[in-house]
C-alpha cells in the first residue's frame, strides 16, 4: 500500500528556479559584409537582454495535467520549448523522468515533403524506426483523416490538416508527457471533439499533459492544475478552478480600464 | 538517454532525411530516378564533345580524364553547397523539435553520395563503351580501391559542410563568397588540364600541391582507370593514409566551430 502511495506522489516533471534570458542583437547583422562595414564605421551591435521567464517553479505528477495560461508573449511557448529540450535554460533545473513530445503549429514538418515522408521523419525524430512507424502509419493517417492526401506535399495542406497530422503522430508514439501548444484551436469542431476524447482516454492511461491554451473552459476541463504566467513571472499556480477564475477576473479588469 | 539509443535514433533520422531529399529532388520529373543516371550521362557527352575539340587531342583517353575529374569535383561542389544552407533551411524543424543540428549537413553530404553513385554509373557506362568499341583497357580490379578512398573523401566533405552550415547561420553572404571560392578551387584542381604540363618549379605547381583535392582526384583517377590502363599496380597506400589524415583534419575543423556554437544557432536561424 505504501509503495503504491509513493508511486503516486512521484513527479514526472519538476522545474526549479527556471530563468530564461535571450540575448538579442538590437540590429540585425546577418552578413559578413555588414559586420565588416560596421566594424570600420565603429558601429557596435549592442545586445539587448530579454528576460522571458523569471524564477519559474512547478511540478507535474505522473498522470496529472498542467494548464498554462497567460497573455501573448508571456513566455508560455518558451516554457514548453525548454521542457521539450529545444532551448537550454539560462539557469535553473528541469528534471524530466520520461519521454516528451511537443505539439505546436507546424510541428517540425518539412513543407516540401509529403505527409507520408513527414510521418516517417517525425517518427525518426521521436525515436522510432521506419519499421516501427510502418505499423502505426495507417492508424495515424486514419486518425488525421488524411487518407486521400498521403502523397501530397505539406505546403498544399491547410493549417487544420497540418495540425491534425501533428496531433495524430504525437498521440500514436505514446509519450509520458505531451506538450500541447494551441494546436486544438486550429481544427474544426468535430476534430476538436475527437482530440479531447482522445486526450481524456490517454489521461486515463496515465499520460500527462502540459496544455497551453487561450480557451479557459478547455483548460479547466482537462487540467487539474494551472500555471498562469504574466510578463515572464508566475502570477498564479494551483488548482485550475481557482487560477482560471483569478485570470478571468484579471482579464475583465484590464478590459474595463 | 544512452549513447547507443541516441546513435540509433540519429541514424534513423539521417536515413529519413536522405530518403526525403532524394525523393523531393525528383518529385516533378517524369523520368524519376532514371533521370539521375541520364542527367550526368548527357552532361558528360556534351563535355566530351566540347572539350575534346580543344584539349588533349593527342590523348585518346582524355574524355575519361575529364569525366573522372568532373564527377569527383561535382560531388564536392554539390555536397558542400547544399549542406551550407541545410541548417537554416530546416529552421522549421530545429525550432520545433529537439534534434542535433549536425544531422542536416551530414544527411545533405550523404544525399550527394547517392547522386555521385548515379554519376559514377554513367561514367562506368561510358568507360564500358570505350573498352568494348575502342579496345582500351580500362576495367581492372584497381577500381575497388576507389571504395577505400570514399570514406576519407566523405569525412573531408562533411567537415567542410559542417563548418559552412554553421557559418551560414551567422553570415548569409558566405554563400556568394563560397561560390567564388569554388570557381577558384575548380581552376587550381587538375580537372580538365594535366599537371605534367606544368613546370615543377613554378608557383602554380606549388599551389596545386597544396590543394587537398589534387590528392583525392589523383587517387580517384589511379583507381578508376589510370593504373589499369598503364599496366597495373595498386594505388599508393601512402597517399591513401594521407587522404584519411586530410579527412580527419577537416572533421576537426568542422566540429571546432560546431560544438561551441551549436546552442547559439537556434536564435539566429
* Prediction pTM value: 0.88
| Interface contact A109, partner B, CB < 8 A | yes
Compare CB distances from B93 to A32, A110, A123 and report the shortest one's residue. Answer: A110
Runs of H (alpha helix) within A10-49: 32-41
HSE-up (13 A, CA, CB side) for residue B97 = 24
Q: What is the pLDDT of residue B219?
A: 95
**Chain A interface test: which of B2, B4, B5, B12 (most A C-beta within 10 Å):** B12
Q: Is A26 at the interface with chain B, CB within 8 A? A: no
Q: Does the beta-carbon distance from A124 to B12 stay under 8 Å?
A: yes
Instruction: Compare A109 and B244 and report the one with higher pLDDT.
Output: B244
| CB nearest to B92's CB, from A30, A108, A127 | A108
Bridge partner list, A14: A59, A95
Distance from CA of A120 to the nearest CA of B (A): 7
Give one word for B135, left, alpha or beta, with left for phi > 0 and alpha for psi -120 to 50. Answer: left
Question: What was the pLDDT predicted at B126?
Answer: 87
Cβ contact B215:B247 at 8 Å: no
Q: Grid coordinates in use for A179?
A: 506538450
Contact B16 A112 (CB under 8 A): no
Picking from B20, B173, B263, the nearest residue to A32 by CB comes out as B173
pLDDT value of position B44: 79
pLDDT, tens only, A124-167? 998 899 999 999 999 999 998 999 999 998 989 988 888 889 88
pLDDT at A33 over 50: yes
Q: SS3 of A94, please?
A: strand
Tell me if B173 and A127 make a contact (CB, 8 A cut-off).
no
Backbone angles phi, psi at A74, to 5 degrees: -75, -25
- Is the CB of A124 less than 8 angstroms away from the CB of B15? yes
Q: Does A112 touch chain B (CB under 8 A)?
A: yes
Asked if B5 is an interface residue toward chain A (Cβ–Cβ < 8 A), one would say: yes
Query: B residues 29-48 near A, CB within 8 Å?
Result: none
Residue A185 banded pLDDT, cuts 50, 70, 90 = confident
DSSP string covering B197-257: GS-TTSHHHHHHHH-HHHHHHHHHHIIIIIHHHTT-----HHHHHHHHHHHHHHHHHHHHH
Closest among B80, B121, B50 to B212, alpha carbons compared: B80
Structural domains of chain A ordered from first start: 2-99+175-256 (3.40.50.300)
pLDDT tens per residue, range A44-92:
777 788 888 999 999 999 888 999 999 888 889 899 999 998 998 999 9
The alpha carbon of A107 is separated from its chain's Cα centroid by a whole number of angstroms, namely 9
Q: Give A248's Cβ-side CA count (13 Å radius).
A: 12
Note the pLDDT of residue B178. 96
Helices marked H in B85-173 — which ranges?
86-89, 91-94, 103-129, 145-170
pLDDT of residue A2: 40
Determine the distance in angstroms separating the CA of A194 from the nearest CA of chain B, rounded to an integer: 24
Three-state DSSP at A5 gives helix
Query: Quick check: B17 and A121 CB within 8 A?
Result: yes
pLDDT of residue B28: 63
- pLDDT tens by residue, chain B, 269 residues: 578 888 999 999 999 999 988 888 776 666 666 777 787 788 878 877 877 777 656 778 888 888 899 999 999 999 999 999 999 999 888 888 889 999 999 999 999 999 899 889 888 988 998 888 888 888 888 899 999 999 999 999 999 999 999 999 999 999 999 999 999 999 999 988 888 878 888 888 888 889 999 999 999 999 998 888 888 788 899 999 999 999 999 999 999 999 999 888 888 87
- Residue A31: which of B19, B96, B173 has the nearest Cβ? B173
Please give the interface size between A and B, counted as residue pairs whose CB atoms are below 8 Å apart: 84
**A140 and A119 Cβ atoms separated by less than 8 Å:** yes
Of A106, A114, A123, nearest to B92 by CB-CB distance is A106
What pLDDT, on a 0 to 100 scale, did the predictor assign at position A183?
Answer: 76
Amino acid at each position: 500500500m505504501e509503495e503504491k502511495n509513493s508511486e503516486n506522489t512521484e513527479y514526472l516533471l519538476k522545474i526549479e528556479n527556471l530563468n530564461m534570458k535571450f540575448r538579442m542583437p538590437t540590429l540585425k547583422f546577418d552578413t559578413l559584409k555588414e559586420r565588416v562595414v560596421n566594424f570600420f564605421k565603429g558601429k557596435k551591435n549592442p545586445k539587448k537582454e530579454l528576460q522571458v521567464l523569471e524564477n519559474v517553479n512547478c511540478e507535474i505528477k505522473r498522470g496529472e495535467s498542467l494548464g498554462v495560461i497567460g497573455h501573448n508573449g508571456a513566455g508560455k511557448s518558451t516554457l514548453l520549448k525548454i521542457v521539450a529540450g529545444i532551448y537550454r535554460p539560462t539557469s535553473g533545473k528541469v528534471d524530466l523522468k520520461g519521454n516528451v513530445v511537443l505539439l505546436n503549429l507546424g510541428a517540425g514538418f518539412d513543407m516540401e515533403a509529403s505527409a507520408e515522408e513527414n510521418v516517417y521523419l517525425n517518427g525518426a525524430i521521436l525515436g522510432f524506426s521506419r519499421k516501427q512507424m510502418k505499423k502505426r502509419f495507417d492508424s495515424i493517417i486514419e486518425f488525421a483523416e488524411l487518407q486521400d492526401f498521403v502523397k501530397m506535399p505539406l505546403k498544399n495542406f491547410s493549417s487544420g490538416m497540418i495540425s491534425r497530422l501533428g496531433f495524430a503522430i504525437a498521440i500514436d508514439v505514446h509519450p509520458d508527457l505531451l506538450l500541447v501548444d494551441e494546436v486544438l484551436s486550429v481544427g474544426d469542431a468535430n476534430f476538436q471533439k475527437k482530440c479531447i476524447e482522445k486526450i481524456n482516454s490517454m489521461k486515463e492511461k496515465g499520460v500527462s499533459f502540459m496544455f497551453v491554451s487561450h480557451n479557459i473552459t478547455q483548460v479547466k476541463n482537462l487540467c487539474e492544475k494551472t500555471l498562469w504566467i504574466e510578463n515572464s513571472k508566475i502570477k498564479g499556480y494551483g488548482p485550475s478552478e481557482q487560477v482560471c477564475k483569478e485570470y478571468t477576473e484579471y482579464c475583465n479588469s484590464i478590459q474595463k480600464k | 538517454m544512452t549513447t547507443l539509443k541516441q546513435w540509433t535514433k540519429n541514424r534513423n533520422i539521417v536515413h529519413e532525411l536522405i530518403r526525403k531529399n532524394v525523393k523531393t529532388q525528383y518529385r516533378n520529373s517524369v523520368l524519376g530516378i532514371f533521370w539521375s543516371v541520364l542527367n550526368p550521362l548527357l552532361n558528360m557527352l556534351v563535355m566530351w564533345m566540347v572539350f575534346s575539340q580543344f584539349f588533349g587531342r593527342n590523348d585518346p583517353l582524355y574524355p575519361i580524364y575529364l569525366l573522372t575529374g568532373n564527377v569527383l569535383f561535382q560531388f564536392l561542389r554539390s555536397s558542400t553547397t547544399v549542406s551550407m544552407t541545410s541548417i537554416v533551411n530546416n529552421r522549421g524543424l530545429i525550432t520545433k523539435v529537439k534534434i542535433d543540428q549536425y544531422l542536416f549537413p551530414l544527411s545533405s553530404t550523404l544525399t550527394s553520395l547517392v547522386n555521385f553513385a548515379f554519376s559514377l554509373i554513367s561514367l562506368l557506362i561510358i568507360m564500358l563503351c570505350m573498352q568494348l568499341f575502342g579496345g582500351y583497357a580500362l576495367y581492372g580490379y584497381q577500381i575497388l580501391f576507389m571504395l577505400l578512398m570514399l570514406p576519407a573523401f566523405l569525412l573531408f566533405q562533411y567537415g567542410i559542410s559542417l563548418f559552412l552550415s554553421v557559418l551560414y547561420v551567422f553570415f548569409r553572404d558566405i554563400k556568394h563568397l563560397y561560390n567564388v571560392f569554388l570557381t577558384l578551387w575548380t581552376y587550381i584542381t587538375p580537372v580538365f588540364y594535366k599537371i605534367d604540363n606544368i613546370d615543377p618549379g613554378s608557383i602554380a605547381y606549388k599551389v596545386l600541391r597544396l590543394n587537398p583535392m589534387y590528392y583525392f582526384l589523383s587517387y580517384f583517377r589511379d583507381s578508376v582507370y589510370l593504373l589499369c590502363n598503364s599496366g597495373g599496380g595498386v594505388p599508393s597506400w601512402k597517399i591513401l593514409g594521407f587522404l584519411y589524415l586530410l579527412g580527419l583534419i577537416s572533421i576537426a575543423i568542422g566540429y571546432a566551430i560546431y560544438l561551441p556554437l551549436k546552442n547559439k544557432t537556434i536564435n539566429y536561424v
